[in-house]
Amino acid sequence: MLSRNKKKGLLAGRRALSSQNKQKVLKPLRARQLIRRFHVLLKNKTQLTKRLEKIWKCKIESDPARYIKEHNPDLFERFEQARIHTLETLLVNKPPPSTVINTNSFQLDRICEELGRIEGEIEKRGGLEVYQAASVQGQSSQRGGDSSKKLVEWLKDLGYNKDNAVALEIGCLNSRNLVSTCGLFSKVVKIDLHSQEPDILEQDFMERPLPKSAAEQFDLISCSLVVNFVPDPHLRGQMMHRITQFLKPHSQKPYLFFVLPLPCIVNSRYFDENRLSELMGALGFKCIRHYQSHKLAYYLYQWERRVSEKLNFPKKELHKGTKRNNFCIVMS
Ligand SMILES: C[S@@+](CC[C@H](N)C(=O)[O-])C[C@H]1O[C@@H](n2cnc3c(N)ncnc32)[C@H](O)[C@@H]1O
């Protein structure tokens, strides 16, 4: 095992390295590269954690490192060695590769090493805070961002004017974005996995307690660029289904504002506009506004309160082609 003192020293180094990476303003290309790389790292981490759960027949609630440490100190040492080696050797100024690894054949020691490498790279690139800062920057109005601009434009166009309307924003990076400041809602509950502001509740939507009454439900839910962030296609389906449970059934048809990166819709092997529309239809959503920019696909749905009994949307190849991505939402 690494000695405590050594670890302390490295941890101190880790902090120093991280703060070196925290640039205030990233160049747009660099921000995009970083966002893409974090997506890959988080996706790989989820897949490896699942492999671990399968092998150990357990449920790892949050941090795989903590679980490995508690259950197998030898494997944790391998994890730590890989993490520290990555911290010490990774060159972050080179454009990152974006390879999603195939974890199916990995044995335990390889899984733990790979998890250590991922953790090291996340730290070396400045941690999730830097990923979020890059995303906020992508949102900033100078870059034409803040997808909720589209939402507010649509709601105003629809003459939305409901007394005491409450909204939930899932995956909120900025408490002053337009959905919060437009004045159409008496309250906007903002949540994120990694809150950056006191006004944003740090919460996993998948763990948010289910509403016990209409008072805990919402007239509108905004879920912009979140589902693509969820690394597993089944979890994405569960997230879409769970959203329906947070919409007010007695509201005059509550809304869902939904945004995906355009390649999820136009360049996936397993997903496209038709599939999205079938899936949303089965969940009881009717699309009332739709817009595509050159990077994003925006949708405004109204929920009609009819979730189909049979939700059967497996992963199925819809389009052939080696240059396609693997984005998919699975529901069954
Ligand atoms: C790419 S950012 C998008 C932020 C913003 N909504 C936008 O449109 O630019 C995705 C955010 O979703 C958050 N997120 C992903 N899964 C989540 C979950 N299960 N619960 C809450 N937030 C989640 C992440 O922490 C991240 O900050």
Pocket perturbation via mutation, ligand 1, pick of 136, 193, 264, 327 by most ligand atoms within 8 A of CB: 193
In this structure, are 157 and 288 located in the same domain?
A: yes
**Is 214 part of any domain?**
yes
Give the number of the atom of ligand 1 that is nearest the alpha carbon of residue 132.
27
* Residue 308 banded pLDDT, cuts 50, 70, 90: confident
Minimal-distance CA residue to ligand 1 atom 12: 171
* Residue 25 banded pLDDT, cuts 50, 70, 90: low
In this structure, are 251 and 116 located in the same domain?
A: no
* Residue 39 banded pLDDT, cuts 50, 70, 90: confident
- Could you tell me the strand order of the sheet in which 296-303 lies? 201-202, 187-192, 166-170, 220-224, 255-261, 296-303, 285-292
In this structure, are 45 and 168 located in the same domain?
A: no
Q: What is the number of structural domains in the chain?
A: 2
pLDDT tens, residue by residue, 269-298: 999 999 999 999 999 999 999 999 988 999
Minimal-distance CA residue to ligand 1 atom 14: 171
Minimal-distance CA residue to ligand 1 atom 11: 171
Lowest-confidence pick of 18-27, 134-143, 169-178, 223-232: 18-27
Please check whether residue 211 is in contact with residue 245, taking contact to mean a CB–CB distance below 8 angstroms: yes
The CA 10 to ligand 1 mean position distance, Å, reads: 30
pLDDT tens, residue by residue, 94-136: 766 667 677 777 889 999 999 999 999 999 888 877 777 777 6
Give the number of the atom of ligand 1 that is nearest the alpha carbon of residue 139.
9
The CA 262 to ligand 1 mean position distance, Å, reads: 17
The CA 127 to ligand 1 mean position distance, Å, reads: 15
In this structure, are 219 and 278 located in the same domain?
A: yes
Percent of the chain predicted with pLDDT > 90: 54
pLDDT value at 17 more than 60 = no
**Is 254 part of any domain?**
yes
* Residue 139 banded pLDDT, cuts 50, 70, 90: low
The CA 169 to ligand 1 mean position distance, Å, reads: 9
> Average model confidence (pLDDT) for the chain?
85
* Residue 193 banded pLDDT, cuts 50, 70, 90: confident
In this structure, are 206 and 81 located in the same domain?
A: no
Q: What is the pLDDT of residue 10?
A: 28
Higher pLDDT, 29 or 251: 29
Q: Find the domain containing 208 and state its range.
A: 146-303
- Which helix (H) or strand (E) segment holds residue 298: the answer is strand 296-303
Q: What is the pLDDT of residue 31?
A: 80
> Is 192 flagged in the annotation as binding?
yes
pLDDT value at 74 more than 70 = yes
User: What residues are in contact with ligand 1 under a 6 Å CB criterion?
Assistant: 132, 135, 139, 147, 170-171, 173, 191-194, 204-206, 224-226, 229-230, 259
**Is 330 part of any domain?**
no
**Is 166 part of any domain?**
yes
Give the number of the atom of ligand 1 that is nearest the alpha carbon of residue 169.
6
Q: What is the pLDDT of residue 113?
A: 94
**Is 329 part of any domain?**
no
**Is 136 part of any domain?**
no
**Is 321 part of any domain?**
no
Q: What is the pLDDT of residue 275?
A: 97
pLDDT value at 16 more than 60 = no
- Percentages of the chain per state (helix, strand, coil), in multiples of 5: 45, 15, 40
Pairing of strands 187-192, 296-303: unpaired
* Residue 1 banded pLDDT, cuts 50, 70, 90: very low
Cα→Cα distances 18→11, 13, 114, 128, Å:
10, 8, 20, 10
In this structure, are 205 and 88 located in the same domain?
A: no
In this structure, are 49 and 152 located in the same domain?
A: no
Pocket perturbation via mutation, ligand 1, pick of 37, 193, 226, 228 by most ligand atoms within 8 A of CB: 226
In this structure, are 193 and 267 located in the same domain?
A: yes
Which domain CATH number covers 246? 3.40.50.150
**Is 320 part of any domain?**
no
Cα→Cα distances 259→38, 148, 295, Å:
19, 9, 11
Q: Which amino acid is at 65?
A: A
